[in-house]
Amino acid sequence: MTTDEKKTVNKKYLIFIVIGIIIILLASLFLFSYFSSSNNRKKCISDNQCSSDSYCSSFGVCLKNVCGDGVCPLIEKQENSCAIDCGCPTGEVLNKHTGTCQPIVAVSSDTVTNSINDYLTKNNMTGKIVSVTDSYYINQTTKEAVVTCQIENSTYPCQIIIYLDNTGSIINAIRTA
Residue 129 lies inside a defined structural domain of this protein: yes
**In the predicted model, is pLDDT for residue 59 greater than 90?**
no
Report pLDDT for 159.
93
Residue 9 lies inside a defined structural domain of this protein: no
Report pLDDT for 38.
46
Count: domains in the chain = 2
Report pLDDT for 132.
95
Residues 167, 114 share a domain:
yes
- The residue with greater pLDDT, 7 or 161, is 161
pTM of the model: 0.59
| Residue-range definition of the domain harbouring residue 66 | 47-87
Mean pLDDT of 83-92: 88
Residues 70, 113 share a domain:
no
Residues 77, 114 share a domain:
no
Residues 79, 128 share a domain:
no
Report pLDDT for 116.
95
Residues 116, 166 share a domain:
yes
Mean pLDDT of 138-150: 90
Q: How far is CA 147 from CA 19, 155, 163, 173, in A?
A: 60, 17, 11, 10
The identity of residue 87, as a single letter, is: G
